[in-house]
Amino acid sequence: MKLDKVSAGYHKKIVVRDVNFEVSPGEIIGIIGPNGGGKSTLLKSINGSLSLIGGSIFLDDLDVSGASAKEIAGCMSVVTTERVKPILMTCRDVVSAGRIPFTNGFGTLKEEDNARIDRAMELMKIKELSDIPYADVSDGQKQRTLIARAIAQDPKYLVMDEPTSYMDIRHRFELMELLKRLAKEGMTIVASLHELELALSYCDRLLLVYGDGHVQLKTPDEVLSEDLLKELFDLSGDMYRKVLRSVRGEKEEGSTSFFVNRACKSFPCHDVPESEFNCMFCYCPLYDTEDCGGDYFYNDRNIKNCKNCGFPHFRDNYPKVIKKLKEKMYGSGSQE
Amino acid sequence: MDKVRSVRRVIVYLALAVLILAGLIMSIGIGNVHIGFDQIFSALTGGACDEKTRAIIMEIRLPRALMTVILGGGLAVSGFLLQTYFSNPIAGPYILGISSGAKMMVALTLIFVVGSTGRTSSILLILAAFAGAILTTGFIIIISKAVRNMMVLLAAGIMVGYICSAVTDFLIAFADDSDIVNLHGWSQGSFSGIDMGSVKYAFVLVTVTFLLVMLLSKALDAFRLGESYARSVGVNVRVTRSEVILLSSILSACVTAFVGPVSFIGIAVPFLMREILKTSKPIVLLPATFMAGSVFCMMSDLLARTLFAPTELNISAVTSLFGAPIVIFMIIRRNSGNEA
């Protein structure tokens, strides 16, 4: 996919201008930016439902502005933010709609179509919703159904506008993992995302769409190291620090309260199972046996380890450990 | 699920076929002169039959019965198309003022063209009704572009209907009685006095239009998820929209031209069929809607002419009586929870 000097907008009013980039097969491009900045406008232009004001978009050799809806449908599927209200359609019916471009004049589903529908529903984990009316499922399930519909279309390019909306945190991560897998199989994915931590950790490159309509294409690392988010979302210093904290925290295995450095030459230094381990304990003050009432010994690598400790060095215990540390450093209360 | 669905489909289609057949026999047999089944059979197959009975069957009752089948089906399909177009389940040719628009044009034609030349032909009336239907439809489309709200759209349709009726009334007030005798009969909506010639015209028109509609069924299927998803699976939205509105107008114009305005079939029948078949898939629904429209119209006509015989009710009186409660039920159902 190639965008060449693209300007997009409504009624000749340009919302996004001068977009130039080329996407290689199997890449995941995340589009991030403030509300009303033109993320959706750009996505609509890419899928051909909004005509371009300037420039051109190519899907391989196909010029989107000159192509028929049918030609585009053959290689691209979309998930929009529009809420659909189909009458009397089951979730499976909705997913089946993704096969329409490949069926005959009467829309008969062949075996291959059914197989693709089944696979898409399995991937999105909505198999059990097959026979339930679309109108009766939850918003998150609706969203997953619509994404399954897009996957059933078996596209080369998958273009999605805020695919994670309405979904709970687990399904968001599952979706991103799935997208990664599809990308590995060769699907090119362009999606606008609100969750920066997802965008930063799963996308190969990010398109930053600024409020004034200019854009920038960067890798997630560049976005963080060049502090681009601050300007993009027009954040105050304090807000930006909070954003960074949450973004960085999410990058570390999903929580901010522990980390495990497996590369450490002393690892594992404790007798704690790895799933409970926390390298923060390297700074643990409680090796002083006076405090914890336990004892210590040196293990075979000559690393100090504790025994019968009153403060089990488990992850969840960390706040208590920190509290003790603070008491030791600054003294407890007004004493001393 | 798929199996349950297909069993349901087979049963519904069989039932509709039986109903149409039964309706035809009843429509031909029941009336001032009762005609037995054996006589109907021999008259239709060219066997031995009383000449007078044969004349009643072939010149009066058969054309009338066939016309109800053809036009009732056409009307129901027309309603189905309008509902798809406006993504609104209570859109229909009558409610949106399309019938009134057609009536106005027919009145104009009867008074100014037929009145001055003294000649009348069904083609002329069809063209007039068609022009009227297209004009009002076009107007409704313009309004629906500006407002997406269903209530506003319906209000606009009803208002357009009133305006057209008002214009028609003006025309009638200033016209010669002899010119409007026809119009009065026509605007009542009635299948009486239909001859085989009109049946042939209507048959060709409705059949061709219906086949074209069937060809659109895949695109209509895609439309169920709204316009942008329809486009994303390769449907040319603009072309399909104009095709839908054109075909729907042809169908409702055809009905209005031959028998005058007939209310509620266009709304009630598609709704009933969706509920009975438990699907909104056009390729399944369209033929069933046509057949059910035929049955509904045929039975209504039968009631209209037999209920208070020899006085004949106008057909809309009967279709409204049965159709309106269905529509009320439908609106209540829609607003009680299904909206989310």
CATH of the domain at A41: 3.40.50.300
- A268 part of a folded domain: no
Q: Which two tokens stand for residue B140?
A: 């409704």
CA distance A282 to chain B (A): 55
Same domain, A60 and A188: yes
CB-CB contact of B89 with B285 (8 Å): no
Find the Cα–Cα–Cα–Cα dihedral A300, A303, A307, A312, rounded to 10°: -130
Q: What is the pLDDT of residue A285?
A: 45
The residue of chain B nearest to residue A46, with distances taken between CA atoms, is B232
B153: confidence class by pLDDT, cuts 50, 70, 90 = confident
CB nearest to B233's CB, from A82, A89, A100: A100
Helix (H, G, I), strand (E, B) or coil at A10: strand
Q: What is the pLDDT of residue B120?
A: 62
With CB atoms and an 8 Å threshold, state whether B228 touches A94: no
- A257 part of a folded domain: no
Residue B217 has pLDDT above 70, yes or no: yes
DSSP strand pairing (A28-32 vs A188-192): parallel
With CB atoms and an 8 Å threshold, state whether A87 touches B215: no
Same domain, A224 and A82: yes
Q: What is the pLDDT of residue A86?
A: 86
Using the Cβ of B278 and the Cβ atoms of chain A, whether some distance falls under 8 Å is answered with yes
In chain A, residues 235-264 whose CB comes closer than 8 Å to chain B: none
Find the Cα–Cα–Cα–Cα dihedral B329, B335, B337, B340, rounded to 10°: 130
CB nearest to B233's CB, from A92, A135, A153: A153
The residue of chain A nearest to residue B274, with distances taken between CA atoms, is A88
Options 3.20.20.60, 1.10.3470.10, 1.10.287.110, 3.40.50.2300; CATH of B67-335: 1.10.3470.10
- A67 part of a folded domain: yes
Long-range CB contacts for residues A180-187, cutoff 8 Å, separation at least 24: A180/A28, A182/A151, A182/A158, A183/A26, A183/A27, A183/A28, A184/A26, A185/A26, A186/A25, A186/A26, A186/A156, A187/A26, A187/A155, A187/A156, A187/A157, A187/A158
- Interface A-B, measured as beta-carbon pairs within 8 A, has a size of 89
Same domain, A9 and A115: yes
Q: What is the pLDDT of residue B103?
A: 83
DSSP label at residue B58? I
Task: Tell me the C-alpha distance between B180 and B109, whole Å.
Answer: 11
With CB atoms and an 8 Å threshold, state whether B234 touches A68: yes
Q: What is the pLDDT of residue B339?
A: 43
CA angle B161, B162, B166 (to 5 degrees): 120
The residue of chain A nearest to residue B237, with distances taken between CA atoms, is A69
User: Which of A251, A285, A314 lies at the terminal end of a domain, its last residue?
Assistant: A251
Report, as an integer, the average pLDDT of B320-326.
88
Looking up tokens 């978009």 gives A57
CB atoms near residue B10 (< 10 Å): 10
More confident residue, A205 or B315: A205
CB nearest to B234's CB, from A80, A100, A105: A100
With CB atoms and an 8 Å threshold, state whether B234 touches A97: no
Q: What is the pLDDT of residue B95?
A: 76
DSSP state string for A195-263: -HHHHHHH-SEEEEE-TTS-EEEE-HHHHHHTTHHHHHTT--HHHHHHHHHHHHHHHTTT-SS----TT
Q: What is the pLDDT of residue A334?
A: 39
Same domain, A89 and A145: yes
Count of alpha carbons within 13 angstroms of residue B232, beta-carbon side: 32
Residue B80 has pLDDT above 80, yes or no: yes
CB-CB contact of B268 with B274 (8 Å): no
Same domain, A235 and A303: no
Q: What is the pLDDT of residues B44-77, one digit of tens each?
A: 887 777 888 888 888 889 999 999 999 999 999 9
B333: confidence class by pLDDT, cuts 50, 70, 90 = confident
B110: confidence class by pLDDT, cuts 50, 70, 90 = confident
CA distance A109 to chain B (A): 12
With CB atoms and an 8 Å threshold, state whether B236 touches A92: no
Residue B284 has pLDDT above 60, yes or no: yes
Q: What burial letters (b/e) apply to B271-310, b meaning 16+ CB within 10 Å?
A: bbbbebbbbbbbbbbbbbbbbbbbbbbbbbbbbbbbeeee
Same domain, A88 and A167: yes
Task: Report chain B's mean pLDDT, rounded to a whole number.
Answer: 84
Q: What is the pLDDT of residue A95?
A: 95
A188, A61, A83: which is closest to A143 by C-alpha?
A83
- A264 part of a folded domain: no
Helix (H, G, I), strand (E, B) or coil at A22: strand
Q: Which amino acid is at A31?
A: I
**What pTM value is reported for the model?**
0.78
CB-CB contact of B71 with B258 (8 Å): yes
Report, as an integer, the average pLDDT of B94-113.
82
Using the Cβ of B233 and the Cβ atoms of chain A, whether some distance falls under 8 Å is answered with yes
Considering A79-93, A265-279, B105-119, B180-194, the range whose residues carry the highest mean pLDDT is A79-93
Q: Based on the structure, what is the number of domains in chain A?
A: 2
Using the Cβ of A141 and the Cβ atoms of chain B, whether some distance falls under 8 Å is answered with no
Q: B221: which chain A residues are within 8 Å (Cβ-Cβ)? A: 97, 100, 107
Q: What is the pLDDT of residue A52?
A: 87
Q: What is the pLDDT of residue A121?
A: 95
Phi, psi of A157 (to 5 degrees): -120, 130
CB nearest to B228's CB, from A49, A76, A107: A49
Task: Tell me the C-alpha distance between B291 and B296, whole Å.
Answer: 9
Q: What is the pLDDT of residue A178?
A: 94
Q: How many residues does chain B have?
A: 340
With CB atoms and an 8 Å threshold, state whether A88 touches B279: yes
CB-CB contact of B53 with B61 (8 Å): no
Phi, psi of A9 (to 5 degrees): 170, -175
Same domain, A18 and A90: yes
Report, as an integer, the average pLDDT of B232-248.
86
Low-confidence ranges of chain A (pLDDT < 50): 250-256, 283, 285-286, 334-336
Report, as an integer, the average pLDDT of B286-291.
96
Q: A77: which chain B residues are within 8 Å (Cβ-Cβ)? A: 232-233
Phi, psi of A332 (to 5 degrees): -85, 125
In angstroms, how far is CA A81 from the centroid of its own chain?
Answer: 17
Task: Tell me the C-alpha distance between B202 and B123, whole Å.
Answer: 10
Q: What is the pLDDT of residue A182?
A: 94
The boundaries of the domain holding residue A287 are 274-330
CB nearest to A130's CB, from B1, B280, B281: B1
Q: What is the pLDDT of residue A255?
A: 41
- A309 part of a folded domain: yes
Q: What is the pLDDT of residue A11?
A: 80
Q: A72: which chain B residues are within 8 Å (Cβ-Cβ)? A: 232, 234
